[in-house]
Structure formats: structure tokens, C-alpha cells
Amino acid sequence: MAAQTALIYSSDFSRFSYGREHPFKVQRFRLAHELMEALGLTMLANGRVVEAVPAREEDLLSFHSRGYLEKLREFSSSEEPRADFRYGLGDIENPVFPGVYDWARLSVGGTVEATRLVTEEGYSVAFNLAGGWHHAHRSRASGFSYLNDAVIAINLLLRQGKRVVYLDIDAHHGDGVQEAFYDTDQVLTISIHESGLHFFPGTGSEKEIGTGKGKGYSVNLPLKEHTDDALYMKAFDEVAFPLIAAYDPDVLFTQLGADTFRTDPLTRLEITTHSYGYIVRKLKALRIPWVAVGGGGYENVNVARAWTLAWSIMNGVELPHRLPAGFRKTIEELGYPNRMLLDAMHWAEEDDRNRALDSVEKSIAAIRKKVFPIIIGGHG
């Protein structure tokens, strides 16, 4: 019998708004669910759709400060726009809107439930679409992120004595998660992202490898703009995959942001569903209990395609290359011209690609020199 899988979802994921001009659109959650529904992926024999419920405050306090949570709750219930820049709240990046605290708690609750299903009920994988808020810090909102669901869920796993790999394939460095576990060897954090040299959040150099007991357990692979499918797969195959296998965690936790795609308006990488799907397949092949969350993505149809592809791979379902007719009609009315569900492999322009190749090879060499002896030597 096939292993049980869970998709964590709530219609309330799409019930709030960061504002009309803000790049983050909550409608992407509804579109992703609608595409899955159109393809029959919400009615699978071994795949269960689970309603998200808000996280408990005691779970939030495993990472966030009480003062920050109180301020976020206070602002969330205010009828007037509020701001407190000490906490990163109320600026253009992290607006305060009615219900923001409850919405953020719902996202965290989905990730906590995904973690519980994998560790307590034996699910092979659980995927929370509305997770992946990897920029939130202990007492500060950042990068559209108010509460850090990954850190909160991993803290629950650590209390159970689990060893965890956190893999982040979002275009932005997972700085909040790295910061939380920078001095421990119980969590191996791996982030493959666009270089922070001239890009938010400005962190994620391959030189950031952890401190104290955690030295070697923070791994960063910054990618130069125009990194394409082949180079992205090379980065994963030569760094992430062997490190995950050598560390051999009890739980694999992945942030599956879709802002790496070549048509994303905020990023400069050039990947497609080709390499995204390749990575998800390799992760499934590891057969490690798996918690997955969403993340970035600022072209809504890209997000829907990426997460539908991820969910289909988790369940061993092959997808057609074209989007279903009914879904195409839905997105046409929203102004999206997309026809294809799956992309052909993409190659960047030669000069751009050569610069990206030189950069990724230098980063891989640095990681192999500084990190591999610690992880592969210690766990091989």
C-alpha cells in the first residue's frame, strides 16, 4: 500500500491582503489548490487534504519574544494603520493589516500540523502550502514574514530528540532559519539562493558555515543571476544531495519557494519546472520522513504550477504538459496567458551562463573544502 501523504490547506489562506500594490499576493494559495483540484490531486486514494488550524501561542514562544507577539497581536486588531519599526512592522515590506496575527498563526499552525502528521502519525510527507516564512526573526518581521513557521516546527522536532535537515530552495537566503540554528549540530541548514551581494536579505555567503558546535552545519550556496536549470541541478547534486545523505536526518524539512523561476518579477535566476521537479524527485527518493512548506513566488501561476508539480511528485502522479482547459479559462480572466504546466529545460545566454558557471563552481569548491570534511567525515 502506498504511503499516506497530507496537503495542508485552508480557504482562509487567501482571505487577507498585504495591499493592492504589494508584490505578495495571497491569491496564489487558492490558484495552487484550484490547479491541484483540476488535475484530481485533491482526491487521491492515499493523499489527504487537511484543514489548517492556528498555532498555539506556546508554540510561537519557542522562538519569538513575548513582546514582539504582543505588539503583532495589538496591531492586528487595530482599525488604524500602525507601525513600530523596532519590530519591523508597518513598513512597505511588512504592512500591518487587519487580522495579520491570526493569518500568520494559521500559516504556522499548518506547518506544525504537517510536522505532527509526519512524526506522530507516520505520514511519508506533509506539505503546507502557506508555510515557508524564512525571513522572520525572533523579535522582528522581515521579507514579508511575520512568524517563522520553520523554526517553530523544527524546535518541536528538537524537543523530541530529532535531527533535522532544513533545505531551502527559495531564491532568497533563509536567513531567519539559519540564525536560529547557527550554533547547533542538531540541524543542518542548506540554502541554495540568489547571491545576497546585491539582493535581499544580503546574507547567505558560502563563508557563513555556523559557529561553535554548529560550525559546518550551516551551508550556503549563493547563485549568480542567470543561473539556469543545468547549473541549478549541478548545485543541488554536488552540494545539497550528498550532504543530506551523509547527515542522514530523522526528518527532512524543505522550503519550496517558487521565486527562482525565470519569469518571477523580483528575482534574476532562470530556472523552470524542469530543475524544480528534478530536485523534488531526488528528495522523494531519499525516503526520509518529509515536511514541506511553500515560500516565495511573485508570479501566481508559477507558484501554482510549481507546488502542483511538487505535490504530484510526492504522490507519484505523472502530470500532463499542458494546463487543464478549465484552469486556463480561470487564469485568462485574471490576465495570465500561460498554457503550459511543465517547461522544457532552459539554458541561459552563453555569456551570462559562463559567469554563473564560474561563480557556482567557486562556491561548490569552497563548501567542499570547509564543510564536507565536517559533515561527510562526521556522518559518513
DSSP states of 327-352: HHHHHHHTT----BSSPPP----HHH
Which one from 33, 64, 134, 135 is the annotated catalytic residue? Answer: 135
To the nearest 5 percent, what fractions of the chain are helix, strand and coil?
Answer: 45, 15, 45
Strand ranges, E, within the chain: 5-9, 47-51, 125-128, 164-168, 187-194, 218-223, 251-255, 290-293
The backbone torsions φ and ψ at residue 13, rounded to the nearest 5 degrees and listed phi first, read -55, -35
Answer yes or no: 346 catalytic.
no
- Given a contact cutoff of 8 angstroms between Cβ atoms, the answer to whether 208 and 218 are in contact is yes
Rg (the chain; Cα; Å): 19
Q: Which three cell numbers stand for residue 268?
A: 534574476
CB contact at 8 A, 107 and 60: no
Q: Contact 154/131 with Cβ under 8 angstroms?
A: no
* Distance of alpha carbon 144 from alpha carbon 133, whole angstroms: 8
Q: How far is CA 349 from CA 212, 231, 305, 352, 364, in A?
A: 42, 13, 24, 5, 22
CA-closest candidate to residue 232, choices 171, 172, 284, 176? 171
Maximum distance among all alpha carbons in the chain?
56
**Angle in degrees, CA 157, 159, 162, rounded to 5:** 45
> Which of helix, strand or coil describes residue 223?
strand
Q: Enter the C-alpha cell of residue 257.
A: 519557494
Known catalytic residues?
Answer: 135
